[in-house]
Structure 1
């Protein structure tokens, strides 16, 4: 990462967002250097305003792309005339005044002429300002802009707030040089981060393939020798279409054949009136585990809500103990974890999560890895697809799931081998993630330094 030149002389800008600036720069409010207006949305219940439309129309989610070349949808001329939608010229900027998650305060440049909804503001710079430099300035102040409307709260921005945004005022050729520099350098950084993300995707694919192969075909020869086992050379038909053959000697069973010969006990959390409510949550007590609290194979207790032990003790079902294998079956389907050792006497499950308690023949660590295999996850997808449009797999359907049973010695060997080999892959992913984080930090710092004049890029060679 190259060392950058600085300007020869600076002065105080008296603007917190800017700090010291080059001596020939000044500060000005956005309202003095731009035209700003919001759009509108035709009545969505009137098909005549939407069907076969030819006017490009944007919603606030469009800003996530940074540079917009395709509209969210099209509206008709009748729809345009009936609403407060307005045309926004090509190369102008649009900012989300409101929106889901991180959308509020995000900015994009238009690569097309389009209209937009009322949750977006068009920002059209006047002659002294280049749209691209203003884009980078607003990008660099994303969090400052969000903070004008309550930060992470639901409050929206408005046009007056946008007009009060302080901006650096500098010669237009210098704006162009800075914008060109940032387009070029961030493009290089983005390309490098994309390659790193591709590497992570490949490592995760390799992890999934490794798990799926080992839990359905057995250990490779060297690993089998390590654990005092012989590699499998004889296979049999599993009678499961998408699984094919499995090692001879392995059992293939349903989760729940009949109550007297069950291998696994399974149960989810309390439904209906018994389900704890938000007003029951307390600072300390028994963890109340939802689907999004299961991460990286275990419960993230920092994310959990808690309920009083007295209330938890009074509930009918959902008591999960150390060693239980957890499966999310509602909303987010297919996350797997094991209840780890903790100071809690038990954890309480919501109806989103089922515990699988291994009673005989199958070991919890082997089941943990089996549940992450393509074989098991494909079963879940099939069951979820057979139900309603809402992602849900009830206990009755879960009891039809098939699982494999190697010998106890081989289950232990497979689980131990996968613990070790997946840890190697996970550490590689963590290292690549750390590189991406450093690149993102550098990207953010570079943008801020350039648009505030902390570095001089006027003479930087392409």
Structure 2
């Protein structure tokens, strides 16, 4: 291996000469928490914040959902931790295991949280960024067994790259600047989305009228405005195509770029398949949504043109009106209210046809749709800026936390 001048080999790869590799157990005190007995009412609803792993999906913890009393603290395995303590999820639902957060308040934790009190020879924020960067590696350290968990011993054995303290502080300082920029952008997106919700509430109900419009709105049923179309069977042998007409499944709504309009799919079908299978391509722009299963409760609606869809989906094709305005009206309708209870939640065209909506003139529909579309474009642009900031930070972390890019040439 060709090692650059000023660098050395280590258990974690090539690092600067001045850097070291140590285990977390060597640089921090690591403990776990506990849960006061639930049946003891006197242990709960006190004034001591109590953290569970669900909160560790946030990089910092400033508020909690549950509180315990002093009696609960004294009569359980939980401990009161100081502000600045790092927490790592040893187990939890979904992607929680291995997540790391920083306490911004004094708090106790449950037994699924490992607390890391970093010694004064190292900088806590730097350790946080190292653990955050190595999230996937840490998850793979989990115990073997039916339930993949981390343990205190596994966490104590995690190896970490350590520059001298001044460089740790400088690296953390730079990454904190990016975090603040990301936080500001995230808050700005939230404010834009709140503003759009307010606009929808005012404009789509007629509570606020645009200048130049005074004509009374008409109350109509959805079946008067358009048609509900159900999808068709899509056998596995027909799937996997990359060219032709998109054949949408519910999961395609998750694809990047499909947040409001369907622009790509995981499966396409060609003309031969369409003819052989008797598929009927939907040419007109329609509103696409899930009609079976838990996906109904996500309330996702998308615009789509020239497409096919499987039998877990449904589309609404307007006979008249501004399609974008009608899509915004659909966004406000909670379709999950109309489900039929069965082995799987579902609804069909007859369940939705009698839903009533109010429609202004086509001119007012268009004017309202233009305003809301402009709001959507601003939100989308801001989200792209946020994604760019996150990518920049990711690149910086890769450079700074491995020593490929140095903050100090001589320490």
- Normalized against structure 2, the TM-score is what? 0.70
Residue aligning to 1:10 = 6
Return closer, same or farther for 1:62/1:427 CA change in 2, 3 Å cut-off. Answer: closer
Contact between 2:98 and 2:139, CA under 8 Å: does it hold in 1?
A: yes
Deviation at 1:82, TM superposition (A): 5.5
Residue aligning to 2:59 = 66
Return closer, same or farther for 1:182/1:393 CA change in 2, 3 Å cut-off. Answer: same
Deviation at 1:85, TM superposition (A): 2.6
Deviation at 1:298, TM superposition (A): 4.7
Return closer, same or farther for 1:76/1:387 CA change in 2, 3 Å cut-off. Answer: farther
Return closer, same or farther for 1:404/1:158 CA change in 2, 3 Å cut-off. Answer: same
Out of 79, 83, 88, the residue aligned to residue 86 of structure 1 is: 79
Out of 41, 50, 73, the residue aligned to residue 48 of structure 1 is: 41
Return closer, same or farther for 1:283/1:211 CA change in 2, 3 Å cut-off. Answer: farther
Contact between 1:328 and 1:336, CA under 8 Å: does it hold in 2?
A: no
Residue aligning to 1:253 = 220
1:446 counterpart = 2:362: no
Contact between 1:327 and 1:337, CA under 8 Å: does it hold in 2?
A: no
1:404 counterpart = 2:397: no
- Separation in 2 of the partners of 1:200 and 1:139? 29
Computing the radius of gyration from Cα coordinates, the structure with the larger value is: 1
Query: Structure 2 unaligned runs (5+)?
Result: 241-245
Out of 258, 266, 275, the residue aligned to residue 228 of structure 2 is: 266
Out of 193, 197, 202, the residue aligned to residue 189 of structure 2 is: 197
Out of 11, 16, 24, the residue aligned to residue 30 of structure 1 is: 24
1:349 counterpart = 2:311: yes
Residue aligning to 2:14 = 19
Contact between 2:47 and 2:69, CA under 8 Å: does it hold in 1?
A: yes
Contact between 1:38 and 1:116, CA under 8 Å: does it hold in 2?
A: yes
1:96 counterpart = 2:89: yes
Residue aligning to 1:293 = 253
- Separation in 1 of the partners of 2:131 and 2:187? 27
SS at structure 2 position matched to 1:27: strand
With 109-118 and 324-333 compared, the bigger mean Cα shift is at 324-333
Equivalences for residues 22-421 of structure 1 within 5 A: 23-44=17-38, 46-48=39-41, 50-77=43-70, 79-80=72-73, 83-149=76-142, 155-183=148-176, 185-190=177-182, 193-194=185-186, 197=189, 201=193, 212=204, 235=215, 245-246=216-217, 252-256=219-223, 264-266=226-228, 284=239, 289-290=249-250, 293=253, 295-299=258-262, 302=265, 321-323=282-284, 324-328=286-290, 330-333=296-299, 335-338=301-304, 340-342=305-307, 346-350=308-312, 353-358=313-318, 362-363=319-320, 366=321, 368-374=323-329, 377-378=331-332, 380-381=333-334, 384=337, 395-396=350-351, 398-402=353-357, 404=359
Return closer, same or farther for 1:128/1:326 CA change in 2, 3 Å cut-off. Answer: closer
SS at structure 1 position matched to 2:383: helix
Deviation at 1:217, TM superposition (A): 7.6
Residue aligning to 2:243 = none
SS at structure 2 position matched to 1:369: helix
Out of 429, 433, 450, the residue aligned to residue 383 of structure 2 is: 433
Deviation at 1:121, TM superposition (A): 0.9
Contact between 1:252 and 1:405, CA under 8 Å: does it hold in 2?
A: no
Return closer, same or farther for 1:10/1:210 CA change in 2, 3 Å cut-off. Answer: farther
Return closer, same or farther for 1:195/1:90 CA change in 2, 3 Å cut-off. Answer: closer
- Separation in 2 of the partners of 1:423 and 1:115? 46
Query: Structure 1 unaligned runs (5+)?
Result: 1-7, 221-231, 236-244, 257-261, 271-275
- Separation in 2 of the partners of 1:299 and 1:370? 17
Return closer, same or farther for 1:211/1:111 CA change in 2, 3 Å cut-off. Answer: closer
With 448-457 and 192-201 compared, the bigger mean Cα shift is at 192-201
Deviation string 1:395-445 (CA, Å, 9 cap, x unpaired) is 435413235385xxx58x977x99999887766655443332222122223
Deviation string 1:222-269 (CA, Å, 9 cap, x unpaired) is xxxxxxxxxx7662xxxxxxxxx33xxxx643234xxxxx66443657
- Separation in 2 of the partners of 1:304 and 1:207? 36
SS at structure 2 position matched to 1:373: helix
Deviation string 1:55-109 (CA, Å, 9 cap, x unpaired) is 4311012223323333441224554456433343332211112334443322122
Deviation at 1:138, TM superposition (A): 1.7
SS at structure 2 position matched to 1:121: strand
Deviation at 1:13, TM superposition (A): 3.5
- Separation in 1 of the partners of 2:281 and 2:77? 55
Deviation at 1:123, TM superposition (A): 1.2
Return closer, same or farther for 1:444/1:327 CA change in 2, 3 Å cut-off. Answer: closer
Deviation at 1:331, TM superposition (A): 0.8
The alignment yields a C-alpha RMSD, in angstroms, of 4.9
SS at structure 2 position matched to 1:41: coil
